[in-house]
Amino acid sequence: MERIWSNIQIMIDIPVLTMGMVIDGLLIGGIFALIAYGLALVWGVMNVKNLAQGDFVILGAYVTWWLYHAGLSPIVGIPIAFVVLWGLGWVIYKLIICRVIEHDLFTSLLATFGIAIVMQQTMKIVFGADEQTIALNLESFGFFDNMLTIQPTRLIAFIAAILLAIGVITFMKRSRMGQAIRATAQNPRAARVMGIDTEKVYSFTFSLNAAICGAAGGLISLIWEFQPFIGLIYSIRAFVIVTAAGLGNLAAVIAAGLGMGVVEQTGAFILGTEYQQAIVVGLLVVVLLIKLVISSRRREVVE
């Protein structure tokens, strides 16, 4: 308890450090928002809660890392990871997801949980269990006598995440496929009546999500170390963000993603690095409780 107070005292005494953590949190929060957006897409359109979300991310990281060691810059590697994961997403949809989409919640949860386990073990066999990372060893930008440092890789990742998000959003708003996806999300039966091939929409949506995860994983490979079994914490973060922000509310997803980055950084500083992931799960509980209270107050008409 005493330690917690002294940590808070440091944050107040040296505001530039606090600023550093907030900036850092916002930068990594951009990537979390991206992963969460993909999850919200699949959840909203197909009502499938993808527990393998984080494992798609880690596979994207491995693809980028593998290409980097084959001599390809991450600037090329990340788009390739996007394409590779798109293909994998399509295969997984055709093999498994299309069979569980009409069933209840637990079938799709179990199916995606199974996919997660298979992916983890396969990555372990193919790439080994060691931690990997792409260390570009770029010099950080230092301000205020290096009390505030901004890492170029995080900045690049943040910008790339924003560009990708803008691209996806424009696609969803403007293109025929984007409109079809939104129509299917609103009412699949009506969409089918209007001549939309919902099967195609589903396979496209699932592939798009996998591709977004692949690109996000590529960005993560530039920032952190990863290994085959670390995907779960990215899944949990995405679930917390989507649960807090709700489906179909993009601005809220981005805000929640950035907020999560900041809460994680400052929370870990105050409580200790040990609690960094506990904070994420703790947030989920808080969010669910708040939602419960709100929904119990709202009166709905029973039809």
Partner 1 sequence: MFHYKPLLTSLALSASFIVAAPVANAEENTILLGAAISLTGKYATAGNHAKVGYDFAVDKINAAGGVKIGDKSYKFTIKYYDDESTPARGGQLAERLINQDGVQYMLGPYSSGLTKAIAPVTEKYKIPMVEAEGASRSLFNKGYKYLFAVLSTSEQYLASAVALAADVAKANGKDPASVKVALAFENDPFSLDVRAGVIDDIKKHGLTIVIDDKLPRNLTDMTATMTKIKALKPDLFVVSGHSKGAGTATRQIAEMKLSIPMVAMTHCESADLVGKYGATANGYLCATQWAETLTYKDPMFGTAAEFNAEIKKTVAAYADKSVPYQLAQASAAVYVFKDAFERAGSLDKDKVRDALAATDLATFYGQIKFSEAGNNTAKPMVLRQIQDGKYNVVAPTAFASHKLEWPRK
Name the token pair of 259: 């907020």
CB atoms within 10 A of CB 104: 9
- For residues 203 and 86, the answer to whether their CB atoms sit within 8 Å is no
Contacts with 117 (C-beta within 8 Å, 6 or more apart), sequence order: none
Q: Are strands 141-143 and 148-150 parallel, antiparallel or unpaired?
A: antiparallel
Binding residues vs partner 1 (CB under 8 A): 7, 10, 14, 17, 20-21, 24, 28, 129-131, 133, 135, 137, 140, 142, 146-147, 149, 151, 153, 224-227, 229-230, 232-233, 264-265, 268-269, 272-278
Kindly state the smallest distance separating residue 173's Cβ from partner 1, in Å: 34
Kindly state the smallest distance separating residue 121's Cβ from partner 1, in Å: 12
Kindly state the smallest distance separating residue 89's Cβ from partner 1, in Å: 24
By beta-carbon proximity to partner 1, the closer residue of 147 and 194 is 147
What totals of helices (H) and strands (E) does the chain contain, helices first? 13, 2
Kindly state the smallest distance separating residue 184's Cβ from partner 1, in Å: 35
By beta-carbon proximity to partner 1, the closer residue of 31 and 191 is 31
Kindly state the smallest distance separating residue 205's Cβ from partner 1, in Å: 28
Name the token pair of 239: 């679930």
By beta-carbon proximity to partner 1, the closer residue of 87 and 142 is 142
By beta-carbon proximity to partner 1, the closer residue of 20 and 188 is 20
User: What CA–CA distance (Å, rounded) separates 131 from 228?
Assistant: 8
By beta-carbon proximity to partner 1, the closer residue of 82 and 234 is 234
Give the helix/strand (H/E) hosting 207. helix 198-223
* Burial of residue 247, with CB atoms counted within 10 A of its CB: 0-12 exposed, 13-18 middle, 19 or more buried: middle
By beta-carbon proximity to partner 1, the closer residue of 188 and 261 is 261
Q: Which own/partner pairs from 114-120 qualify as long-range (CB within 8 Å, at least 24 positions apart)?
A: 115/51, 115/52, 115/55, 116/51, 116/52, 116/54, 116/55, 116/231, 116/232, 116/235, 119/52, 119/55, 119/56, 119/58, 119/59, 119/231, 120/55, 120/228, 120/229, 120/231
By beta-carbon proximity to partner 1, the closer residue of 146 and 295 is 146
Kindly state the smallest distance separating residue 136's Cβ from partner 1, in Å: 10
Kindly state the smallest distance separating residue 168's Cβ from partner 1, in Å: 25
